Amino acid sequence: MVSHLENKKIKMLACFIAVVSLVLPSSQTYAQGAVRQTADVVGQGPAGPVVSPDGASLIRTKNGITASINMPTPMSGSYSYPPTNPFQTVEPVAGIPEVFTGWLFFFNDPGNCEVANQCIPPPPGTPAPNDFTEGRGGVYNFAGHALSGRGSLNMVGHISVGEMQFGGPFALDNPTGAEIHLAVAPHGLLVPELMPEQINTPVGNPSFWWLARLQAPTE
């Protein structure tokens, strides 16, 4: 019997074979019970320049969130590569194709964060209390691709209420009211012996990522 995690890895690998992200929402649309938001993608790091205006989007329903990021594919060798970590023990370096992963950080109760409605994902191992414990947050991997050459980097994924999270103490249970951060992490050159884990595990920290922040919608 295929586990939930194994099934997700299979889907990510299929996505790889087929292909071989702080700013406030700029718009939101209410229709048929769903809420759509968009935000600029910035990077690398939260103080980085806008690389894709309105390039991040969410569609929120009571059952879950569909997240997407569309941005120019970072050109090999043109940006900063993160160091190794326990998930990626081979140093990320420039090459073709390069791997990118998409991450969704959420805070079910953003008003409870240390700064209300301006939540910050705590680094791994940060002692409680932190914005994950107080804001009831966590993180999901929602996409992973390996790309060659120019063009657009497109990442799309859906997170359902209650779905097992990659990290953090809580699962998503407030999709219409959660604060959401999207991140794109660069893994450098595709390393066959690290597949498929290389396209569904994290690397680096926010200073190396392309980012977008989408606060809870307001009526």
Is 102 inside a domain boundary? yes
Q: Is residue 56 part of a domain?
A: yes
Strand 152-160 to 25-31 pairing: unpaired
Q: What are phi and psi of 110, to 5 degrees?
A: -65, -25
Residue 9 DSSP SS3: helix
What does the pLDDT profile of the chain (219 residues) look like in tens digits? 434 444 443 333 333 323 323 333 444 444 468 999 999 999 999 999 999 999 999 999 999 999 999 999 999 999 999 999 999 999 999 999 999 999 999 999 999 999 999 999 998 888 999 999 999 999 999 999 999 877 999 999 999 999 999 999 999 999 999 999 999 999 999 999 999 999 999 999 999 999 999 999 875
Whether residue 72 is preceded by a cis peptide bond, meaning omega within 30 degrees of 0, is no
In a domain? residue 219: no
Asked if 204 and 185 touch (Cβ cutoff 8 Å), the reply is yes
Task: Please say whether the beta carbons of 181 and 121 come within 8 A.
Answer: yes
Asked whether 8 and 164 are in contact (CB, 8 A), the reply is no
pLDDT at 219: 59
Whether 55 is covered by a domain: the verdict is: yes
Residue 23 resides in a domain:
yes
Domain that holds residue 18: 4-89+96-214
Query: Is residue 104 in some structural domain?
Result: yes
Q: Into how many domains does the chain fold?
A: 1
pTM of the model: 0.85
Note the pLDDT of residue 32.
60
